[in-house]
Amino acid sequence: METGISNHCKPGFRILDDAQIGRIHDAVLRILDEVGVRVNHPDALDLLAGHGARVMDDNLVQIPASLVEDAIASAPSNLVLYNRNKTPVMELGGRRTYFGTGTDLPKTVDLETREIRDTRADDIITSTIISDALPNIDFIGSYGLPRDVPAGLHYIRCFQMEVENSTKPIFFTAESEEDLAVIWEMACAIAGGPEALSDHPFLISYNEPTSPLAHSKEAVGKLMFCAKNRIPLNYAPALLAGSTGPVTLAGALVVAVAEALSGLVIHQLTKKGAPISSGVAATTMDMREATVSYTSPEFRLTHSACADLFHHYGLPVWGTAGCSDSQYPDLQTGAEYAFTLLNAALDGANLIHDCGYLGQGFVASPELIIFADETIGMVKRYMRGFEIDSEHLALDVIKQVGPGGNFLQEKHTLDFFMKEHWQPGIFNRKNLPNWIKAGKKKTEDKLLEKAREILDTHQPEPLAAEIKNELDRIWEKCKGEYCGDFRRCL
Amino acid sequence: MGILEDVYNAIIEGKVEDVAAGVEQGLNAGIEVDDILKKSLLSAMDLVGERFGEGEIFIPQVIWSAKAMQAGMDLLRPHFSEGQRKKSARIIIGTAQGDIHDIGKNLVGMMLEGAGFEVVDLGVDIKPEQFVEKAAEEKADIIAVSALLTTTMISMADVVSLKNEKELSSVKVIIGGAPLSMDFCKEIGADSFGVDAMDAVAKVKELMDL
C-alpha cells in the first residue's frame, strides 16, 4: 500500500488565492451597495425594494451585501441540462467543462464559394447538423443570425431549426420576453408541457446586462420570465475594459461581477432556487480599432479570475473560447482557438460558448466548428492528465524490453495506446511522402471535406411528426401575426 | 467452415495463441494447407491492412495481428509445397552501417512477417558486406536496408554495388527511412523504396510479382 499519494496527476490552474477572491468580492459588494445598478423594469424594482434594496431616482438601486449573499446561497450550485430525449447530458457546476457554439453571427463564410456573405436561415441548419455530429460539441447555439428572416422572428425560427436538427441542449437568444414566450411554447410542446420542461430542461437562455452597471427592461423581462418558468438562464455581461468598464482588469472584473451578481439577485428574488449560470466576459476594447477583442490575453486573465470567483461562490460559470478576432480562417484563427480553448478548460469554466466564431463575433465559417471540435479533443486529452500507478510506471515492461529494445510489439503497448494517446481526426501526422501522396491537403481543405461529408451523411434524430407539426403551427401563427415590430403583434 | 473462420477472426483480433491452436487443429482435421493460408491467414491480413489504410485501426493492433499471423505461418511453413514456398519471399533486413535506430526497421520487419514473408533480421549497424553475405547464405530474395540518419544513408549505395559485384543480381534491394526518397533510391540503383511500413509491404509484393 502506498499512502498519501494520488495515482492520477492532472493539470490544475487558478490565478486568485482565497485572500484575492475576498478582496475582489468585497469591492463588488461595495459597488453594489454604494453605487448601485440601474434596473429598468418596474416589477424588478418593486421586488428589490420589497427585500430591502434602496430604490432611488432614475431606476437606480443600491443592493445591500446580505441580498447578494442570499442570492449566491439560494441559486443551485449544479445546473443539469438534458438532451431533447430527457437524458441528462450536462451538469453545469464544479469544474465540469462543456463546449458549444455561440449565437448571432450576421456574416458567414460560404462553405462552397468561400465568400463572406449575409448569414441565411439554411446556415442555421448547416451549423446545427455539423454540431450535432461532433463528439466534443456539447450544446448548440444558433451560430448565425439569419438576415432572410424578419428581425422580430429570427430567434424563434433559429430555435425551431435547431431543435429540429439536434437532440443536444440548445443555448438560445431571444429579443424580448415576447419571442422568449414563443420559444418556451415550442420547448413545452417538445417536452410535454411546462412541468415536464422544467423537470428536464434541454435549453438555456442567453441574456445579458448592459455594462456598465445597467439592466435593460428587455433583459430583466427575459430574466424574470426564465426564473418564473424555471427555464435555465445564463446571465452574464460582456464588458469592454477601457470603454464600458475601467481599463484596469481588476476594475473591469469588479464592475462586471457586480452586474452579474445584481442580475442573480433579481433572478433569485423572482424565484428562489431557479436554475442560473453566471459569470462575466470582461474583455478589452481595442484602442486603435475601437473593436471588441474576443481573444485578448487580458480577457483570458479576467476569464480565469471569473472562474475562480464563481467556483468560490459555488455557482455554474459561463465561459468563452474557440473564437478568433480574425475575419477569415487563417493562422491567427488557429492560434486563438488553441489558446482560448486550453485556457477555458484549465479555468474549469462550465458553459464554454462561442466555439467556431470568427471576426470578433460577426463572422461564421461552419467548418471551424469542426476545427474547434478537433482542438477541444486535444485539450480534453491534456486535461485528463496521466496515471502514475505501477501499471502505468511500467517497470516490468521496461525491464523486459531493456536497453536498445522495442516497446512497439509489447502487449502493454497494445493495451494502453488507445487510452494514453490522443488520435487526431483532422490534424496532420503523415510523413512528407505520404502527405504528398494523399494530395497535400491542408487543415483548411480537410475541414471543408469533413463539413461536406457530415452534411451529406449525418442524419440527426428527427422530431416526432406531431411535435414537428405543432412547432410549424406555432411558427405559422407568429409569421401571420408579424407586422414589423414583433412586440406589438402579440 | 468453423476452424477457418475462427482463425481468421483470431488474426484480426491479434490473438496469437488462438491462431496457433486453430491452425494446429485445422492441420489435424486435414484441412488443406492452401485453404488455411489463403482463406484464414492472408485474407485476414488483407482486411487488417485495409482497416489500417482507412484509419480504423492503429499500428499496435496491426502488429498483434501480424504476430498472430506469424504464429500460424510458423506452423504452416513445414507443410508448404514448392509453389507456396516461392510466394513466401525471404527477406534480409537491417539498419544501415553506423545507424542504430531500429524502430522503423522493426516495424517494417513485423509488417512483412504479417504479410506472410520470411524475415531474417540482422539488427542494427550492419555493414554492406554483412547484408550481402547473409543474403547469399540464406538464399534471400530481398535485402531491406533502413536508415534514419542522413549520414548513414550513403552506405546503402555500397550494399547495392557490393551485391552486384558478388553477382547476386536476382536479389533485390529495397530501402526505407525518414530522410530517403524515390530520387535517392534511383540514384544509388536500389530496386524500390517504401515511404512507410505498409508501403514497404506493398513494394515487396511488387518486387515479388505478387
Asked if B145 reaches chain A (Cβ–Cβ under 8 Å), the answer is no
Q: For testing the chain B interface, which of A408, A421, A422, A446 should be mutated: the one with the most B CBs within 10 Å?
A: A408
Task: Yes or no: say if A139 and A100 are a contact pair by the CB < 8 Å rule.
Answer: yes
Q: Indicate whether B129 and B178 sit together in one domain.
A: yes
CA distance linking residue A325 with residue A139, whole number of Å: 22
Average pLDDT of the segment spanning B131-137: 95
Instruction: Decide which of B61, B80, B99 is a domain's last residue.
Output: B80
Determine whether the interchain pair A408/B63 forms a contact, defined as Cβ–Cβ distance below 8 Å: yes
**pLDDT (tens digit per residue) in B147-205:** 888 888 888 999 999 999 988 889 999 999 988 889 999 999 999 999 988 899 999 99
Give the number of other Cβ atoms within 10 Å of residue A19's Cβ: 8
Q: Which three cell numbers stand for residue A165?
A: 436538427
Angle between helices B103-114 and B197-207 in degrees, nearest 10: 50
Tell me the CA distances in angstroms from A236 to A163, A190, A210, one per residue in order: 24, 27, 9
**pLDDT (tens digit per residue) in B24-66:** 999 999 999 999 999 999 999 999 988 988 889 999 999 999 9
Residue from the list B60, B100, B110 with its beta carbon closest to the beta carbon of A413: B60
DSSP assignment letter at B79: G
Instruction: Decide which of B80, B100, B131 is a domain's last residue.
Output: B80
Q: Indicate whether B70 and B131 sit together in one domain.
A: no
Residue of B nearest to A424 (CA): B55
Is the four-CA dihedral A303, A304, A305, A308 of positive or negative sign? positive
**Average pLDDT taken over every residue of chain A:** 96
Q: How many domains does chain B have?
A: 2
Q: Indicate whether B113 and B201 sit together in one domain.
A: yes
Q: Could you tell me the residue range of the domain that residue B199 belongs to?
A: 89-207
Instruction: Decide which of B80, B107, B138 is a domain's last residue.
Output: B80
Asked if B16 reaches chain A (Cβ–Cβ under 8 Å), the answer is no
Please report, as a single letter, which amino acid is at residue A472: D
Average pLDDT of the segment spanning A417-434: 94
In chain A, where the domains are located? 73-384, 395-423
Task: Yes or no: say if B33 and B80 are a contact pair by the CB < 8 Å rule.
Answer: yes
pLDDT band at A486 (very low <50, low <70, confident <90, very high): low
Asked if A423 reaches chain B (Cβ–Cβ under 8 Å), the answer is yes
Tell me the CA distances in angstroms from A473 to A89, A288, A478, one per residue in order: 29, 49, 9
ipTM: 0.82
**pLDDT (tens digit per residue) in A233-261:** 999 999 999 999 999 999 999 999 999 99
Asked if A434 reaches chain B (Cβ–Cβ under 8 Å), the answer is yes
Q: What pLDDT shows up at residue A6?
A: 87
CA distance linking residue A25 with residue A305, whole number of Å: 11
Q: Indicate whether B65 and B99 sit together in one domain.
A: no
Determine whether the interchain pair B102/A406 forms a contact, defined as Cβ–Cβ distance below 8 Å: yes
Asked if A6 reaches chain B (Cβ–Cβ under 8 Å), the answer is no
Q: What pLDDT shows up at residue A349?
A: 98
Residue of B nearest to A426 (CA): B55
CA distance linking residue B141 with residue B91, whole number of Å: 6
Average pLDDT of the segment spanning A469-483: 89
Q: For testing the chain A interface, which of B54, B56, B59, B119 should be mutated: the one with the most A CBs within 10 Å?
A: B59
Please report, as a single letter, which amino acid is at residue A259: E
Q: Edge-to-edge strand order for the sheet containing A203-207?
A: A140-141, A170-173, A203-207, A233-235, A276-277
Cα of B32 to nearest chain A Cα, Å: 31
The answer to whether residue A416 scores a pLDDT higher than 60 is: yes
pLDDT band at A487 (very low <50, low <70, confident <90, very high): low
Q: Indicate whether B99 and B202 sit together in one domain.
A: yes
pLDDT band at A489 (very low <50, low <70, confident <90, very high): very low
Cα of A181 to nearest chain B Cα, Å: 47
CATH 3.20.20.480 correct for A73-384: yes
Nearest of A52, A19, A83 to residue A312 by alpha carbon = A19
**Average pLDDT taken over every residue of chain B:** 91
Cα of A423 to nearest chain B Cα, Å: 10
